[in-house]
Amino acid sequence: MDSIRIKGGKPLNGTIKISGAKNAALPLMVACLLTEETVTLSNLPHVADISTLINLLCQHGTNAHLNGESSKNGSSNGRAISLTASEITSTEAPYEIVRKMRAGALVLGPLLARMGEAKVSLPGGCAIGTRPMNLHLDALEAMGAKIEIDAGYMIAHAPNGLKGTDIRFDSVSVGATQNILMAACLANGVSVLDNAAREPEITDLVHLLQKMGARIEGEGTERLVVTGQKTLHGANHAVMPDRIETGTYAIAAAIAGGRIELTNTNADLINSVIEILEQSGTTIERTEDGLIASRDPNTPIEGVDVLTHPYPGYPTDMQAQIMALMCVSQGSAMITENIFENRFMHVPELLRLGANINVHGRSALVRGQAELIGAPVMATDLRASVSLVLAGLAAKGETVINRVYHLDRGYERLEEKLAACGADIIRTSGE
């Protein structure tokens, strides 16, 4: 199993090209199941979750063609993929694939809408929480589907098609909004989705669906109105920039000190993160295709309280990273996780590096330390792993992060991008 070794304490200077967003690319790829024609996506990130989803889509009968590879220096425009689901040969999404990646469950709505049936494994819980599917299932039932749970599978039937209806999600869910949005595109009549998630990845999906001929109003708001169509057609679309990768590298500049320019992205996607970073003493300069994050290594990091919320609030996917920064602040910070019930798995590992953190229910009180000391640590999920990388950049001595496969699920060539800015970071295999 690969690990990453970092010798901390070096300021970072350079440019990082941000990849396409994993969390946008996954639902965009699933949308290919809604049409017999080809959907082509460019700016596709080269990360493990994308390969897992390609496997799943092929299992349903999709033809997938990947073009172009990411180049070592990040100068390529990402990969492109053409997905053609002219015939759905299987409506089953097996446990072996869906358990690896929850986004696999997004095929439920599209398969049901197009084929009138779907059998999709329940994704199960994961390190960050129980992550149920009730919002997805309740909405599909409201659209006329008959659903039973049997032997760990969601078995759904709608032989006469789904019918458009008014749906109000009890709480905000990115995945449920995406699943039902896709299903509604092929339903009979009008669906109104209230209390929909407003994450930019949803808007990116709306844009692709509109290019495919879907009629959707209300993009970017909590009310999406979808007028179902009999069929959708093929389309070309560029995956939006990864806002979580953007925020992560902005925090890298903040924690290590130095100046990193982030290109191929959009600062407006991370306004809530920028606000916190500026309060912490980091300078953010917005540019035409991204931003420059900088901090003089002699300027202290201020403690700032952070609460995670659905977009446009501070993202849960940036909670572990900001906690790493607060560990070396000169004050204290209360970090409250409002989205997932168990998303503090990075805390015990940060403690191993000398951090001072006390968790009280959904909040963690971080008392900043003058320094962290490198140590071997272990990652439990994607964002927890990257918070350990960030902490390692600031820590004295060597930090070894094990279980790097978590990182590979969502960060493209992380060690190369950081090394290009002067970080002392290498990947070692087989340990």
* 132 or 159: CB nearest ligand EPZ: 132
Tell me the three state secondary structure of residue 267. helix
Among the listed ranges 3-11, 172-180, 250-258, 420-428, the one in contact with ligand EPZ (CB under 6 A) is 172-180
Scan residues 291-310 and list those touching ligand EPZ (CB under 6 A).
Answer: none
Q: Does 395 participate in binding ligand EPZ (rule CB under 6 A)?
A: no
Residue 292, strand partner residues: 261, 285
Among the listed ranges 5-13, 173-181, 297-305, 358-366, the one in contact with ligand EPZ (CB under 6 A) is 173-181
Give the shortest CB-274-to-ligand EPZ separation in angstroms: 18
Scan residues 84-113 and list those touching ligand EPZ (CB under 6 A).
Answer: 102-103
Question: How far is 50 from 246, CA to CA, in rounded Å?
Answer: 19
Scan residues 31-70 and list those touching ligand EPZ (CB under 6 A).
Answer: none
Q: Does 175 participate in binding ligand EPZ (rule CB under 6 A)?
A: yes
Q: Does 408 participate in binding ligand EPZ (rule CB under 6 A)?
A: no
Among the listed ranges 112-120, 167-175, 221-229, 246-254, the one in contact with ligand EPZ (CB under 6 A) is 167-175
Number of residues that bind ligand EPZ (CB under 6 A): 23
Q: What are phi and psi of 105, to 5 degrees?
A: -70, -10
Q: Does 240 participate in binding ligand EPZ (rule CB under 6 A)?
A: no
From candidates 62, 70, 316, 321, binder to ligand EPZ by CB under 6 A: 316
Closest CA to 229 of 252, 207, 212, 246: 212
Q: Does 147 participate in binding ligand EPZ (rule CB under 6 A)?
A: no
Q: Does 173 participate in binding ligand EPZ (rule CB under 6 A)?
A: yes
Question: How far is 293 from 271, CA to CA, in rounded Å?
Answer: 13
Cα-Cα-Cα-Cα torsion 242, 243, 246, 247, nearest 10 degrees, comes to -150
From candidates 28, 33, 83, 133, binder to ligand EPZ by CB under 6 A: 133
Measured from the Cβ of residue 428, the count of other Cβ atoms closer than 10 Å reads: 11
Token readout for 35 is 């049409």
From candidates 53, 262, 377, 382, binder to ligand EPZ by CB under 6 A: 382
From candidates 39, 176, 347, 388, binder to ligand EPZ by CB under 6 A: 176
| Residue 126 annotated in active site | yes
Do 425 and 418 touch, CB atoms closer than 8 A?
yes
Q: Does 132 participate in binding ligand EPZ (rule CB under 6 A)?
A: yes
Do 306 and 277 touch, CB atoms closer than 8 A?
no
Give the shortest CB-1-to-ligand EPZ separation in angstroms: 20
Question: How far is 108 from 106, CA to CA, in rounded Å?
Answer: 5
Q: Does 362 participate in binding ligand EPZ (rule CB under 6 A)?
A: no
Question: How far is 330 from 338, CA to CA, in rounded Å?
Answer: 25
Measured from the Cβ of residue 69, the count of other Cβ atoms closer than 10 Å reads: 10
Q: Does 136 participate in binding ligand EPZ (rule CB under 6 A)?
A: yes
Residue with tokens 């600062």: 267
Token readout for 139 is 């909405």
Q: CA distances (Å), 424 to each of 3, 228, 272, 418, 430, in order?
A: 14, 53, 30, 8, 20
Among the listed ranges 132-140, 351-359, 367-375, 385-393, the one in contact with ligand EPZ (CB under 6 A) is 132-140
Q: Does 174 participate in binding ligand EPZ (rule CB under 6 A)?
A: yes
Tell me the three state secondary structure of residue 188. strand
DSSP single-letter state for residue 61: T
- Choosing from 32, 58, 126, 185, the catalytic residue is 126
Q: Which helix (H) or strand (E) holds 401?
A: strand 398-402
Residues catalogued as catalytic = 126
Where on the chain is the footprint of ligand EPZ (CB under 6 A)? 23, 26, 102-103, 129, 131-136, 171, 173-176, 316-317, 339-340, 382-383, 410
